[in-house]
Structure 1
Amino acid sequence: MEPLLSDLFPDADKSAWLMQVQKELKSTSTGNSPYESLRWPTDEGFVVDPYYTADDLNGLPLETIQAAQKQVPGWLNVPERQITNERTDGIILRDSINRGADALILNLPSSADIDLSWLLNGIKLSDTPVFFKTNHPTAFVESLKTVAPYQLRGGLLTDPMARWLQSGQPIGADYQTVADVTKATSDSPQFRTICASSHLFHNAGATATQELAFLLASLADQYDHLTNLGLTIEQLVAKTLLSVSVGTHYFMEIAKLRALRVLLVRFLTAYESVQSSLFIHCQTSTFYDAAVTPYANLLRATTETMAAVLGGCDALTVHPYDTVSGIASDHEFADRIARNISILLKEESYLNKVADPAAGSYYLENLTQQLVESAWALFLEVEKRGGFERAFADGFIPGEIEQAYQAKVDAIRAGKVLVGVTKFRSDETTNQLNQSSETSASLLPDRRLAAEFE
């Protein structure tokens, strides 16, 4: 059966569209094609066209891109909580699970002394994945196996490279610690102990290309150290968790996550690994959040959440809208709203019913491939400089990120809109703002783009 009204609206290829552009737009004074004025140079180092058709898919490795994507729909709704009191926090955690959380992230206190039996009372880690942030991984895992002597689900969000960048302290024995906890939990294949994250790059102002490239470079350094300590590449891949921030640039963020999976396949090929299904955790960005208008962050969180799930995350943490505001707000309400954003996208938008919904999109498939190639080229540049640690120490990585951040600031000064900050602003708080969590020891600044304009 022919499409309705096909005789009235015949097929038009891209060349016909380009001819119409040339006809309707005046040539520039420099003699350039009018079409060139419609092309968009991105911060990521490549140019995006204003219009794509099926013809633009012909030159892409489409089968390779789509084969790398997650094949099973759905994601885990994973709220994060800072633990201060095992008994009261335990009650809140169980309530969160009852109200729609699929998993949990627990940010443990710096002290190793914590009563896990109280904290995890009523939570079975073989059913509900729990991810932990701790400064004492070895002692913690020993205690955890005592409290939960069965196969665990979840993992450790402990990234040695991030710890070095935050503290300025040498990595030292951190890799040995990762190797030890990986071996200690070998009987729990769904408890991941090797973590590489992009949050520090993202919050310092990196582009999507830089986030992907530097994440791969930090993972390569970690794999090299861990294989030297006797772990096989198959052991590493099975235990790896990648944690990525997702910003407000909707289509670019969708493509970023899809490109990450393609890059991981290419990356692991170099290690002769047949596995490529690494677990990807995403969290909404604090870099783009506004402190003076925290309710505007609900819009950002919704956009970021949609980008994360359409991009194929395995787990998602939505930050409460007041995370950076520094105000005394109703945290229970803010936590519930954050948790419900993910629930709404499942229960009302049905985004958990389709795997890789971006597949076949003329624009997104091209954007994915452009990110793959630009990030891979930058990753190879870092490797030529000796890997992540050396490229950071010689100033290459921080210099690249600083340049990207300044470009973002300059764009806002030139008129680019930050909703609730430079336009549509009605301050909701005059309290002291949480401008940055950067410390004097930190090797990368922890920034908010809006901070310079509030």
Structure 2
Amino acid sequence: MTVVTDEGLPLAAEFPEATREQWQRLVAGVLRKAGKGELAGRAVEDALATRLEDGLVTRPLYTAEDAVDDPGFPGFPPFVRGGGAAGTAVSGWDVRQRHTDPDPVRTNEAVLADLEGGATSVWLTVGAGGVPVADLGRALDGVLFDLAPVVLDAGAETEAAARELIALFAARGVAPQDALGHLGADPLGLAARTGDTSDLAERSAAAAESAARYHRELPRVTALTVDALPYHEAGGSAAQELGCSLATGVAYLRDLTAAGLPVDAACALLEFRYAATADQFLTIAKLRAARRLWARVAEVCGVAPAGRAQRQHAVTSPVMMARRDPWVNMLRTTVACLAAGTGGADAVTVLPFDDELGLPDAFARRVARNTSAVLMEESHLARVIDPAGGSWYVERLTHDLSQAAWAWFQEIEGAGGQAAALGSGLVAARLSDTWERRSARLATRREPVTGVSEFPEPEQAPVVREPAPRPPGGGLPRVRRDEAYEALRARTDAHLAATGARPRVFLAALGSPAAHTARATFAANLFKAAGIEPVHEPVTVDAASAAEALAASGATVACLVSSDALYAERAEAVARALTSGGASRVFLAGRPGDAREAYEKSGIDTFVFAGCDAVAVLTSVLDHLGVA
């Protein structure tokens, strides 16, 4: 039997300790062979670093040297490691299902099915875009209000919906001290959605007064939501989402204390809602940073240490949901749910994979709620307190994101607070700038969207759902990662409906499959992202056969695909043959290098390669083909 010393088990004790400098030298050798030049020291890591939004940088290596602030312990300030001492390890997170169907009968069926299938709370859209206030009782028929909290999302009709829900508590014999729920008042979030900032200060104060009154009557019912989704859905970054939520939370604290509540009680009435994306580490860091930042705000406001914890509701990002090949959304929401749970969210809503197509069906809702069930009950994710804790990468990312978010929060406060920043257009302008930069990455496919900009399947039958009610608009825009490619696909779909065929591009492959397969695959994916059908028949062509193959393909646009070596030998002759055979436009898959002038003289119009502006290229092709 091995006796473990007081120092613990000396794993790999026989090997000398590897230093950061040794790692840098080895990597520098690899980069030198790859043609990256002579690099040394920190420059090696800089060459492999990834730059994110908000000025954040992720590096290839993290060690104890990168350790930053002490995250504390779970359940204690600054609550980075979780809002409770046991995190979600006792019972897991609250599985909160969202319902937007305006039909109260169908909504009731879906609500009961969700609760029977593992959901633990109900998130119900009421009023415009959801169930009418008068039908709230029918929609919630059979729901046990002392077991399953009801979370309202009623927008401008929040006060009426709150009164209706409270009346239901009384009508069904639920004692005031046993009633559970969240009334969902969020005047600042509604102003961000609708653009209506008139009398915003008065509306916010009125919501706070109602919240204070309901708190005295129903001690376990909270009232105010700090919803960061409007800023995320408008294209905001993680730091902008956090900064706006902090500014909103501070505004509500001011209103609640002005309404007569002690600051500790006011803090307990707030629930913060954040987006969880498929960028799992950024999501984990965002939720951890949100708790740290709010704990600091609460500390400055004089809240007792135990009351500084932030209650978090994470929702899988609508921005990342694709309308084409929506089945891939299941993968995105699974990663996002995993990140939300790992990040310590108290409640998690997984949007159904068909959410962007209309009203989700029963299968999609089942998959959504089972995502949480599998992660908690089979993967045992909820049995570990702060699974990401201790990772130097996550701790550093949490710290850096906190710094960026705090700077944005201070800027909003300096501009007069969240209401003033919304009214002046400061928030809208800053989010627009962020989305513009991100749109450029999406257009160049540096941020790929599987099933949309990468590996699309235009021939796949579209998934059709009953249209969902339109949510309130007029304020911040609602953006989607797939929107530029969706516009292209809509054009080719209309062309297909009108003519019975999709626009085509002929892939003129030079040489053997070993020489052209990689670029043929790249070009096919590129054109299919716009719904353009690639024709790769025959497998290979030369100057003598290119024109005939083009005519047989039925295309008037062609793209040369092969290796650089074969391009140098054959591209010009084949391009001339294609042009003389009727090709109105000829592409070449690859960078032209020094041969650009010669290629252009032979009839090659455009070069497509990894990192090119795919949206601009594909738009020009459709314009050229007359696809309206």
Is this a same-fold pair by TM over 0.5?
Answer: yes
User: Deviation per CA, 1:113-159, whole angstroms, max 9, x where unpaired?
Assistant: 42444333332211111111124333333332332132321202231
- Tell me: CA distance 1:200–1:437, structure 2 relative to 1, closer, same or farther (3 Å): farther
Q: Which residue of 2 aligns with 1:159?
A: 186
Post-superposition Cα deviations, 1:385-413, rounded to whole Å, max 9, x if no partner, equal 11112223333221211111011110122
Distance 2:47 2:480 in 1: 32
Shift, 1:384, TM fit: 1.3
Q: Summarize the Cα distance change of 1:436–1:256 in structure 2 as closer, same or farther, 3 Å threshold.
A: farther
**Retained in 2: the 8 A contact 1:179–1:226?**
yes
CA distance in 1, matches of 2:258, 2:417: 15
Q: Which residue of 2 aligns with 1:62?
A: 71
- Alignment check: 8 A CA contact 2:295 2:310 kept: no
**What is the DSSP-based 3-state SS (H/G/I as helix, E as strand, rest coil) of the residue aligned with 1:422?**
coil
> For 2:19, which of 10, 13, 16 is the aligned residue?
13
Q: What residue is the counterpart of 1:442 in the other structure?
A: 474
State the Cα distance separating 1:288 from its structure 2 match. 1.1
- Counterpart of 1:62 in structure 2: which amino acid? P
Alignment of 1:297-376 (within 5 A): 297-326=329-358, 331-376=361-406
Q: Which of 141, 147, 151 in structure 2 is aligned with 1:127?
A: 147
Partner of residue 271, structure 1: 301
Residue 197 in structure 1 maps to residue 227 in structure 2: yes
Alignment partners' CA distance in 1, 2:44 and 2:295: 39
Q: How does 1:139-288 map to 2 (within 5 A)?
A: 139-149=160-170, 150=175, 151-169=178-196, 170=198, 171=200, 172-274=202-304, 275-288=307-320
- Distance in 2, matches of 1:67 and 1:325, equals 36
Q: SS in structure 1 opposite 2:388?
A: coil
- Post-superposition CA distance 1:339-373 (Å, at most 9, x none): 11111111110111122111101110111111111
What's the offset of the Cα at 1:17? Answer: 2.2
SS at match of 1:123: coil
For residue 271 of structure 1, what is the amino acid of its counterpart?
C
Aligned partner of 2:449 among 418, 426, 432: 418
> Runs of at least 4 residues of structure 1 off by over 4 A?
2-5, 27-32, 64-68, 429-439
Instruction: Answer yes or no: is the 8 Å Cα contact 2:127–2:157 preserved in 1.
Output: no
Secondary structure at 1:281 match in 2: strand
3-state SS of paired residue (1:127) = coil
Distance 1:28 1:426, change over 3 A: closer
What TM-score results when the alignment is normalised by the length of structure 1?
0.91
How many residues of Structure 1 are paired with residues of Structure 2 in the alignment?
A: 450
CA distance in 2, matches of 1:344, 1:358: 19
CA spacing shift, 1:403–1:128, aligned 2, 3 Å: same
| 2:147 is equivalent to residue 138 of structure 1 | no
> What is the DSSP-based 3-state SS (H/G/I as helix, E as strand, rest coil) of the residue aligned with 2:348?
strand
From 274, 299, 323, the counterpart of 1:291: 323
The residue that corresponds to 2:420 in the other structure is: 390
3-state SS in 2 of match to 1:324? helix
Structure 2: runs of 5+ lacking an equivalent? 487-628
Cα distance change of structure 1 residues 229 and 16 upon mapping to structure 2, 3 Å threshold: same
Cα separation, partners in 2 of 1:228 and 1:185, compared to 1, 3 Å:
closer
The one-character-per-residue Cα deviations of 1:323-349 (angstroms, maximum 9, x if unpaired) are: 1124x8x70111111111111111110
Distance between the aligned counterparts of 1:432 and 1:443, measured in 2?
28
Letter in 2 for 1:52: Y
What percent of counterpart residues are identical?
Answer: 26
Which residue of structure 2 lines up, in the alignment, with residue 103 of structure 1? 121
Which stretch shows the higher mean deviation, 430-439 or 372-381?
430-439
Amino acid at match of 1:373: Q
Deviation at 1:432, TM superposition (A): 8.6
Q: CA deviation at 1:383?
A: 1.1
Distance 1:398 1:217, change over 3 A: same
CA 300–435 in structure 1, closer or farther in 2 if over 3 Å, else same: farther
* Cα distance in 1 for residues equivalent to 2:51 and 2:338: 24
Match of 1:49 in 2: 59
CA distance in 2, matches of 1:29, 1:104: 58
Whole-Å Cα distance in 1 between the matches of residues 79 and 15 of structure 2? 31
Shift of 1:8: 4.5
The residue type paired with residue 281 of structure 1 is H
Answering whether residue 437 of structure 2 is matched by residue 407 of structure 1, we say: yes
1: CA distance between counterparts of 2:133 and 2:279? 41
Letter in 2 for 1:17: W
**Are the aligned partners of 2:53 and 2:237 in contact in 1 as well (CA < 8 Å)?**
yes
Cα 1:370–1:435, aligned 2, differ >3 Å: closer, same or farther? farther
Q: Secondary structure at the match of 2:27?
A: helix
2:50 matches 1:40: yes
Contact kept? 1:194, 1:236, Cα under 8 Å:
no
Of 267-276 and 145-154, more deviation after overlay is shown by 145-154
User: What is the match of residue 100 of structure 2?
Assistant: 82
The 3-state SS of whatever aligns with 1:424 is coil
Question: What is the Cα deviation at residue 431 of structure 1?
Answer: 7.3
Gaps of 5+ in 1: none
The letter of the residue matching 1:45 is: G
Higher Rg: 2
Are the structure 2 counterparts of residues 5 and 313 from structure 1 closer, same or farther at C-alpha, using a change threshold of 3 Å?
closer
